[in-house]
Amino acid sequence: MVKLAPSILSADFANLETAIRGIDANGGDWVHVDVMDGLFVPNITIGIPVVKALRPVTTLPLDVHLMIDRPIRYVEQFVKAGADYLTIHIESDTLENNLAALDKIASLGCKPAIALKPGTPAEAAKPYLKKCAMILVMTVEPGFGGQKFMADMMPKLKTLRTWLDEVNPGCILEVDGGVDTKTCTLCKENGAEVLVAGSAYFGAKDKAAFVKLIQE
């Protein structure tokens, strides 16, 4: 069964505890936390103190997606704040620094992950494949919620699944961006195992029904 990770980027920030408890009550699997610094992406969201505050609120895995410049500077703090999965963008720093960041994440007992922007080819992920517990394929440009799903990212997703099956079959493939009850089918068909949904989940009238549709 595919897992759903609702993104709190689309939640009511004045009532995050309520939103996160709702994810659990409605059958969601993970909580996706988008961290943006205004440098790597043109938006600023939340940081380490908020992740730390969210940790006691839920037993669901915190899937923390760092859309920040040079994440190696902060990965230890995010792990200590309570991240279960910590994703860095391969475009955010040098290969050397990113590999070191993944090693640090893993050494602290957290699951390391990388993300690829739409314009980044699958080949760019090759040096990271054996070090990752998860790879995130962006199907929108990172930075803002509510964007249209980019179906042309599916060949990249399928290629990554093929490569991972050869060198790291336990690595999870995640898709983030424009996921809803229609686009989720395409993601599943091409190897996605975790789907991030923000505006589609929080905008759903029946969130529990939405979760079931995505998972099944």
Active site residues: 34, 176
Q: Would you say 51 and 62 are in contact if contact means Cβ atoms under 8 Å apart?
A: yes
* Alpha-carbon span 138 to 124, nearest angstrom: 14
Residue 205 tokens read as 């009238």
Partners of 37 in beta bridges: 44
Q: Which amino acid is at 81?
A: A
What 93-102 contacts at long range (C-beta under 8 Å, 24+ apart), as own/partner pairs, is: 93/69, 95/127, 97/70, 97/72, 98/71, 98/72, 98/128, 99/127, 99/128, 99/131, 100/72, 101/71, 101/72, 101/75, 102/128, 102/131, 102/132
> Which residue's structure tokens are 């009238």?
205
Q: Would you say 12 and 19 are in contact if contact means Cβ atoms under 8 Å apart?
A: yes
Helices (H), 114-153: none
Residue 109 CB partners (closer than 8 Å, separation 6+):
79
Q: Would you say 65 and 43 are in contact if contact means Cβ atoms under 8 Å apart?
A: no
